[in-house]
Chain A
Amino acid sequence: MQTATSLANRGLRILCPNGHLGFAPSRRGSFDNGIEAAPDIVACDSGSCDIGPVPLGMDGTASPLAWQRHDVEMMLLGARPRGLPVIIGSAGDTGTDSRVDRFVDLVQDIAREHGLPRFKLGYFYSELSRETVRAKMTAGQTILGLPGRADLTEAELDATERIVAVAGVHPYMKLMDMGADVIIGGRSSDCAIFAAPAIRKGYPEALAYYFGKVMECASFCAEPYGGKESILGEITMEDVRVTAMLPEQRCTVASVAGHAMYERANPYYEHFVGGHIDMRDCVYEQLDERTTRVTGPRYVPAADLRVKLEGSGKIGERYVGLVGIRDPYTVARVDDVIAWARRMVQERFGSEGYQLSYNVYGRDGVMGRLEPLRDKPGHELCVVVQAVAPTREMAEEICIMGTRQMFYARLPDVKGTAGGVAFLLDEVMPASPAYRWTLNHTMPIDDPMEPFRVHMTEAGI
């Protein structure tokens, strides 16, 4: 146990068990080691836009409830008996209101089940209505596209099913001011979850945001590679220190600096509501075998306040078919086979009002036009057929036709005349509806709390 003397001489310590709570279960041993290392807070992020636009659009989730429960339970039972705060951001993959409610329920269930002493449970919502965004546009404000995206149009807004705003530190700090012991956040910047308690304790913003940046993916900043292991970070007035909690892992200069690049278009800048940090002059030093120390990030406040919006819009209902091809003559002419099937669909359904897509695995199914070897297909191919249409019935029929007609494709010199392709199943499979990212934009706001609604309840006995 830590003594009062050693506590007085140290910074703020946060234990992070997972870079995306629920997506794969956290590993237990390194978390227990982390709890033994006397953290002040246990925190992690639970969201990502990597999972694509479907969960946000459907207001669903990419992670099993059992895994989310596993991690929330582990964090609460590790932290609450020691009186430590717990912070979880971007609840349930998407950070929509329904996912926040689900996590609040989870916390209350677990606290009741384990008889945890009563605590204050704060939470906030990040969802925005289309009308809120439309009101900004009507008032003449521009919803700016992030690099590579056009500014938002009313038509694209109308095509959007659901929108979340990405919170900065502000709703977290507000809830801490209100006395929350446990916080469940709606969609948030990953770094804000860790930066908020540090800024509130008076640590410099530059270090606090860097602290969040390096902590948010847990053991991805350690080596050797191994996800879902806990790391312990400490912020002081001078530096940030990160330590791997799995005995086999180390936070090295190479692994921590390497992580600064991860999932970012540029390794030097990290943006959030209210500004960004500039990491060009960061200095990385090996402090001990498993700890790296970082100094030198700079905080640059934003000239105007903008919040990032993520939005997903429905394309239609979806069915999926699978087709195998082994005849080398047909492999070489797979585009003709696909063209035939498309033509048959077109004869029945016309050329508009649905979408039909073919991924040719064994040729360029993963990378499409970016595939340098697309002129060198393998000896067998798998074609994945996706049909998207306004109704399930129509999507199913188009998918069956777009799949089965490959069997009947008329190639001039084919030797096999008893069926041109191989079926794994002579059926098509219902899939989740197809969605697309409609919003990856920023919206001007007058106050960093404007899009976010904070609430307080209780949990435990």
Chain B
Amino acid sequence: MSPASRPLSAIAKTIRSKNAGVDHITFDVIFPDRASYDHVRHSGALSPAAICQVFGIAPQRLTDHVEFDPAFAIKFTIAREGASGSLGDGDLFGSQHYAPLIDIPIPEPAG
């Protein structure tokens, strides 16, 4: 039997994405308190490797990955395939790219 889990959206306070300049999209996953922040970052569910797998990208497209204690946030940035607003870009502001993070399963803490 697989251990119980909850989706990231049930734990995080904010899950968002936005342009960081014209060539990158940055993602902020912000937690309500130290305990949930620590639990998720130690779970590995938002590790660089896990994120590359979710979006199907090569590791070099993940340009930043920071655990930002003052805001209880995990933040990462990916290089866009083409600059924002290039022909065919469907998300000029990069503001809907967070959707695949919502349902990432986070294993429940042991005990």
B111 is an interface residue with CB less than 8 A from chain A? no
- Is the Cβ of B71 less than 8 Å from the Cβ of A258? yes
B86 is an interface residue with CB less than 8 A from chain A? yes
- Is the Cβ of A148 less than 8 Å from the Cβ of B23? yes
A50 is an interface residue with CB less than 8 A from chain B? yes
Q: Mark B83-94, 1 if CB is under 8 A from A, else 0.
A: 111111111110
- Is the Cβ of B23 less than 8 Å from the Cβ of A147? yes
- Is the Cβ of A369 less than 8 Å from the Cβ of B75? no
Q: Which of B3-30 contact A (CB under 8 A)?
A: 14, 18-24, 26, 28, 30
A266 is an interface residue with CB less than 8 A from chain B? yes
B73 is an interface residue with CB less than 8 A from chain A? yes
Q: Taking A50-B19, A52-B84, A258-B71 as contacts, is the C-beta distance between A366 and B28 under 8 angstroms?
A: no
Q: Mark B41-67, 1 if CB is under 8 A from A, else 0.
A: 000000000000011110000011010
Q: Which of A373-413 contact B (CB under 8 A)?
A: 373, 386, 388
Pick from A107-115, A182-190, A341-349, A432-440 the stretch touching chain B: A432-440
Q: Which of A122-149 contact B (CB under 8 A)?
A: 146-149
- Taking a contact as CB atoms closer than 8 A, the residue among A147, A262, A370 that contacts B97 in the complex is A370
- Residues from chain B with a CB closer than 8 A to the CB of A370 are 55-57, 78, 81, 97, 100
- Is the Cβ of B63 less than 8 Å from the Cβ of A267? no
- Residues from chain B with a CB closer than 8 A to the CB of A266 are 64, 66, 75, 77
Q: Taking A50-B92, A257-B70 as contacts, is the C-beta distance between A440 and B23 under 8 angstroms?
A: yes
- Give Cα A355 to B57, complex, Å: 26
- Is the Cβ of A372 less than 8 Å from the Cβ of B66? no
- Give Cα A260 to B83, complex, Å: 23
B contacts with A, residue count (CB < 8 A): 44
- Is the Cβ of B66 less than 8 Å from the Cβ of A268? yes
Residue of A nearest to B100 (CB): A372
- Is the Cβ of A147 less than 8 Å from the Cβ of B63? yes
- Is the Cβ of B23 less than 8 Å from the Cβ of A146? yes
Q: Which of A261-319 contact B (CB under 8 A)?
A: 261-268, 282, 284, 310, 315
- Is the Cβ of B90 less than 8 Å from the Cβ of A366? yes
- Taking a contact as CB atoms closer than 8 A, the residue among B14, B63, B68, B88 that contacts A148 in the complex is B63
Return B109 CB to nearest CB of chain A, in Å: 22
A contacts with B, residue count (CB < 8 A): 48
- Is the Cβ of B23 less than 8 Å from the Cβ of A372? no
- Give Cα A81 to B65, complex, Å: 48
- Taking a contact as CB atoms closer than 8 A, the residue among B26, B54, B72, B83 that contacts A440 in the complex is B83
A357 is an interface residue with CB less than 8 A from chain B? yes
- Residues from chain A with a CB closer than 8 A to the CB of B24 are 147-148, 265
- Residues from chain A with a CB closer than 8 A to the CB of B83 are 53, 436-437, 440
- Is the Cβ of A357 less than 8 Å from the Cβ of B88? yes
- Residues from chain A with a CB closer than 8 A to the CB of B78 are 370
- Taking a contact as CB atoms closer than 8 A, the residue among B63, B85, B87, B100 that contacts A357 in the complex is B87
A448 is an interface residue with CB less than 8 A from chain B? no
A332 is an interface residue with CB less than 8 A from chain B? no
- Is the Cβ of B23 less than 8 Å from the Cβ of A386? no
A461 is an interface residue with CB less than 8 A from chain B? no
- Residues from chain A with a CB closer than 8 A to the CB of B82 are 436
- Residues from chain B with a CB closer than 8 A to the CB of A361 are 90
Q: Specify which of A254, A359, A366, A369 lies most central, judged by the most chain B CB atoms within 10 Å of its CB.
A: A254
- Residues from chain A with a CB closer than 8 A to the CB of B90 are 359, 361, 365-368
Residue of A nearest to B18 (CB): A263
Taking A261-B28, A265-B24, A359-B88 as known contacts, 17 extra A-B pairs with beta carbons closer than 8 A to each other, sorted by chain A number, are A49-B19, A49-B21, A50-B92, A147-B24, A254-B71, A257-B68, A257-B71, A263-B20, A266-B64, A266-B77, A367-B99, A386-B87, A434-B87, A436-B82, A436-B83, A437-B22, A437-B83
The chain B residues found within 8 Å of chain A, CB to CB, are 14, 18-24, 26, 28, 30, 54-57, 63-64, 66, 68, 70-73, 75, 77-79, 81-93, 96-97, 99-100
